[in-house]
Amino acid sequence: MIDIKEKSKCCGCTACKNICPVNAIKMIEDDEGFLYPKVDQKICINCGLCEKVCPITNKLNLKNEMQKAYVVNNKDDQVRMESTSGGAFTAIAEYVISKNGVVFGATFDDEFYVHHTYVENKEELGKFRGSKYVQSDVKECFKETKNFLDSGRLVCFSGTPCQIQGLKKYLQYEYENLITVDVVCRAVPSPLVLKKYIEYQKIKLNVDKFNAIAFRNKEKYGYKYSTMTLKSDNNSYYQGVETDPYLRAFFKNYSDRPACFDCKFRNPNRVSDFTIWDCFTIGEICKELDDNKGTTRVIVHNKKAIEIFNEIKNKFNYEEISMDVATNNVKELKTAPIPNEKRNEFFNDIRILPPDKFFEKYFPDSIKVKVERRIRKIFVHTTLYNKLKKVAKKLINK
């Protein structure tokens, strides 16, 4: 039976929990706020299925016989604005819905807890749009996916590479009616850090409740400087990666799951049908598509995905590119982040310090942060911004 001795050996995909025939496995939150499987030995019948489906301990079966790569912008501007990059995911999902299919993805609940669920109509797809930079709780979704597949429905399951690999191991069968979409994934932060951050921002911004949270909102500064955004009835907060404490924790590798530092899914070859991710360098790849509203890089990994792409390509302004151009210099496909040297201290403090003390200890509003914020406000809409940012960083770090 599954017994997690090293946290880096569990990505929390839930395949083991979903496969257990006697429901002996529960996903339990650890001190850092991540879910790990725990077996109730009194119920376990030692069938071994949980170990068999684990995507971390079992060999990956990567077979991408005919990959093609594209950069795409969804022609629907509203979809694109609500999506993280170019809105590729929505076009794939709409195709599935148009065939009376079911789409699984990550959404918020009322308390901004991120979890997987499914939708069966186009109007509800909006809840999946936009990357939630926190680990999504898959709950019972693998079982629900199998039920839909067995009933003959077309199913699209979207998620991180480890979730897709976990789903495939759980299903143990290549369903023709399953379409999988994974993202290129840097890492997933802890849901506990997001919870604490929301408490912190309620205090700081003096609001009782947020109506919306977006980790990569484009409305104020465009795609290339998308911001963490919090909206309440009378307040809107927009801060970028250098100044917002939640994004700083993520990109400085404080808040990520241990398995992400040793991720075995970091590879351009996948078990999924589609892989989607950002394209900030679209200006160098295809100038005509560069309008700062967001572009998705898409790899289609097999014949089924190529056929679907051909059916939906009229929804995009797009360009076919080589696999080399698509994947060169994409460090998230090749190297794992290195844990911040203060990561342990950070997670010790999270349960002890009040929200304001906690975030201000690790992410103070220092002179460096203030300078960065000021530079961004003045220059972000000009081409000078990136150049000035580099110069300012050099000066500050001297």
Ligand X SMILES: Cc1cc2nc3c(=O)[nH]c(=O)nc-3n(C[C@H](O)[C@H](O)[C@H](O)COP(=O)(O)OP(=O)(O)OC[C@H]3O[C@@H](n4cnc5c(N)ncnc54)[C@H](O)[C@@H]3O)c2cc1C
- Residue 35: beta bridge partners? 29
Q: Give how far Cα 132 sits from Cα of 69, 108, 153, 249, 255, Å.
A: 24, 8, 27, 14, 14
Binding of ligand X at residue 161 (CB under 6 A)?
Answer: no
CB 10 within 8 A of CB 37: yes
Work out which of 64, 67, 73, 84 binds ligand X, going by CB under 6 A. Answer: 84
Binding of ligand X at residue 14 (CB under 6 A)?
Answer: no
Distance CA 375, CA 192 (A): 32
Nearest to 189 by CA among 141, 131, 148: 131
Nearest to 148 by CA among 188, 101, 193, 106: 101
Region 284-303 residues binding ligand X, contact defined as CB under 6 A = 296
- Give least dist CB 21 to ligand X, A: 27
CA 90 to chain centre: 15
Work out which of 90, 145, 253, 275 binds ligand X, going by CB under 6 A. Answer: 90
Q: Considering CB distances under 5 to 8 angstroms, the limit depending on partner class, which of ligand X, ligand SF4, none binds residue 14?
A: ligand SF4
Work out which of 10, 16, 134, 286 binds ligand X, going by CB under 6 A. Answer: 134
Q: Which residue is nearest to ligand X (CB)?
A: 105
Q: Where are the beta strands (DSSP E) in 98-160?
A: 102-108, 114-119, 155-159
Question: Which x/- pattern, by CB under 6 A, does the window 123-162 give for ligand SF4?
Answer: -------------------------------------xxx
Identity at 291, one-letter amino acid code: D
Q: Which residues have a Cβ under 8 Å from the Cβ of 132 and sit 6 or more positions away?
A: 106, 107, 108, 114, 215
Count residues binding ligand SF4 (CB under 6 A): 40
Q: Considering CB distances under 5 to 8 angstroms, the limit depending on partner class, which of ligand X, ligand SF4, none binds residue 10?
A: ligand SF4
Binding site for ligand X (CB under 6 A): 83-90, 105-106, 114, 128-134, 136, 158-160, 181, 183-186, 188, 276-278, 296, 332
Binding site for ligand SF4 (CB under 6 A): 1-2, 4, 10-16, 19-20, 22, 24-25, 37, 39, 44-50, 53-56, 160-162, 166, 185, 187-188, 257, 259-260, 263, 265
